[in-house]
Amino acid sequence: MPNKRTVALVGQPNSGKTSLFNALTGSNQYVGNWPGVTIEKKEGRFNSHDIEFLVVDLPGCYSLNPYSLDERITKDYLRNQKPDFIINVVDSTHLERHLYLTLQLISLKIPMIFALNMTDELENLGLSIDEKAFSEILGVPVVSIIARENKGIEPLVSIMAQGVAPPIPQEKVPVKPKEIYLSTKRIIKKVIRHTLKKQNKTAVWLNRIDYFALHPTFGPILFFLLMFLGLEFTFLFGGIVISWFEKGLGFLYQYFEIVNNPITKSVLQHGILSGVGNVVLLVPYIALLFFFISFLEDSGYMGRAAYVMDRFMHKLGLHGKSFIPLLLGFGCNVPAIMTTRSLETDGERIKTILMIPFMSCSGRLPVFVLFAGAFFGSKGVLIVIFLYILGILSAILTALLLKKTVIREESPDLLMELPPYRFPFWRNIWKNTWLKVKQYFYKAGTLIFIVTIFLWFLSYFPSSSGFGGEKSLIGIIGKWCSPFLKPLGFDWRMTIALISGFIAKELVLSSLGVLYPGGSSLSTTLQQVMDSKTAFVFLIFILLYIPCIATIAVIRSETNWKWATFSVIWSIMLAWIVSFLFRFALQLV
């Protein structure tokens, strides 16, 4: 008996494959309640019964005839990689449709286990499934699970360990859709048992929400209200926590005064505290933002937003499904760009991908928050909301421009599943948020730390020049680059900050922290070195020019060099022009 087995998770979108993947391997892959969360195969390992299982989580697909890129990944994997067996995950509350893929898989004769997920919801509907009869009809082992609560996993693993044979269905599986659906209907009649229906008050209540969420007028209003509340909530709670953190940072700065070695002291104070410290400081905002996005994803609201926004998106030559990647762009542009794989046509994908960088991501948020707090006080929230809106308008402009010039094709009609509302599962939201916070810390500890130390190095040497002065290396570089940004009113230090911002937007803060070191917090220092109008124009530039190197890399890998270059040039150009216009307008005021 081999002690290594490869098992692939296959199922229709939103059936809970990634939840099962997490339950099996103990990983923390991102889950959400909307079709198309997983767009790439993911691998994880676990050991049980002296066997090492390699679990492969595949993107959901409605059938084995792919309709979009992510579905193709699954089909290609099944055809080329030949896993030892598959687990077909189905949403047991939508059995009739989910069985369609199951029957197609059975006809491929791949050894499989049939995992009935969300059996708790089925019970609530007053139904139960005769697993034994089911297993006999399909000729495969059948297990009931509740993946997100880790229930039914042990029986599943023991079947996995016993080994799985190719399916031996009772009757031959038909090929044509019509016939397959006749089969699924027959099978369901045989396996579904009616039990006592539980009173489900939440369902009634949630349907009432849908009246508003899907209403042509109230729907968009509700959406913008939600966004506004989300931002407010992020600011309100974030601000409280941050004020404690800032005090701690100031205290540490004082504490490092006792260090004797001047170089070590400078690294600690100017490099680590002012540079990296200012980035780490803002982690509560990141956590709250992702908490909010994750809440939306888990509740099933994303599908509603896609429906409500479809009308508007058609004006841009897109459809409602493109709205989901755009919305996710507020979290992080990189996965958002990858999510476009679930869109059907190339034109639509490219258009959406080029819009996403203008969606203000969580990397830009800390910069906005700090500046808004420093310069605009209580009006800060409004400034940040204004920036978000300006970003959205720029994305719309980009789409319209592409529609009028290069990508003229009409968008195909929307065709997507509307997931049911589920009460957000706190553990999921917490896990998703924690995942992002960890990533943020990791980024601060690696990329941002290294670049900041590099910046410190450039600022410190030659040591006679005075830290971060015009004569230091960084000063020479900054002076050399700054003519390009002079017309916008940015000095050479701000120029350096923007250059390092190419790598990651958080670095704007680190480099300002390094270049304007002071005993007090960065926000007080900033107030002394620039006026609020310049700060505002600076924020606009940060909002619009390329988000980070990772975004460019992912645009290139999802499209080609041509579009990645276009995105870089277009965004810098737009940033420059818009900033210039605002500076000009503000000078008149």
Burial environment of residue 540 by CB neighbours within 10 A (0 to 12, 13 to 18, 19 or more): buried
CA distances from 121 to 124, 144, 190, 198, 486 (A): 5, 12, 20, 10, 61
Rounded Cα gap, residues 557 and 73, in angstroms? 15
Q: Residue 453 interacts with another protein (CB under 8 A)?
A: no
**Nearest to another protein of 418, 586 (CB atom):** 418
**Which run of H or E residues covers position 127?**
strand 127-129
Contact map string, positions 393 to 422, toward another protein, x by CB under 8 A? -------------------xxxxxxx-x--
Residue-wise over 91-109: b if at least 16 C-beta within 10 A, else e?
A: bbbbbeebbbbbbbbbbee
**Nearest to another protein of 322, 534 (CB atom):** 322
Task: Give the residue, chosen from 21, 53, 62, 449, that forms a contact with another protein under the rule CB under 8 A.
Answer: 62
Cβ 418 to another protein shortest distance, Å: 4
Q: Residue 320 interacts with another protein (CB under 8 A)?
A: yes
Cβ 313 to another protein shortest distance, Å: 10
Task: Give the residue, chosen from 16, 83, 303, 501, that forms a contact with another protein under the rule CB under 8 A.
Answer: 303
Cβ 61 to another protein shortest distance, Å: 10
Pairing mode of beta strands 51-57, 127-129: unpaired
Rounded Cα gap, residues 278 and 514, in angstroms? 10
Applying CB under 8 A, what is the total number of residues that bind another protein?
30
**Nearest to another protein of 420, 518 (CB atom):** 420
Task: Give the residue, chosen from 196, 204, 216, 260, that forms a contact with another protein under the rule CB under 8 A.
Answer: 216
Q: Residue 63 interacts with another protein (CB under 8 A)?
A: yes
Helix (H, G, I), strand (E, B) or coil at 119: helix
Enumerate residues 6+ apart whose C-beta is below 8 A from 376: 382, 383, 532
Cβ 322 to another protein shortest distance, Å: 13
Rounded Cα gap, residues 344 and 261, in angstroms? 61
Which tokens belong to 99? 């069985």
Rounded Cα gap, residues 245 and 260, in angstroms? 26
Rounded Cα gap, residues 553 and 564, in angstroms? 8
Q: Residue 310 interacts with another protein (CB under 8 A)?
A: yes
Task: Give the residue, chosen from 108, 139, 149, 181, that forms a contact with another protein under the rule CB under 8 A.
Answer: 181
Which tokens belong to 410? 């009409």
**Nearest to another protein of 17, 94 (CB atom):** 94
**Nearest to another protein of 63, 465 (CB atom):** 63
Only one of the segments 20-28, 177-185, 470-478, 481-489 lies at the binding site for another protein (rule: CB under 8 A); that segment is 177-185
Contact map string, positions 99 to 138, toward another protein, x by CB under 8 A? -x--------------------------------------
User: How are strands ordered across the β-sheet holding 85-91?
Assistant: 42-48, 51-57, 4-11, 85-91, 112-117, 142-144
Cβ 213 to another protein shortest distance, Å: 11
Only one of the segments 282-290, 299-307, 395-403, 538-546 lies at the binding site for another protein (rule: CB under 8 A); that segment is 299-307
Contacts with another protein by CB under 8 A lie at: 62-63, 65, 67, 93-97, 100, 177-178, 181, 214, 216, 303, 306-307, 310-311, 319-320, 412-418, 420
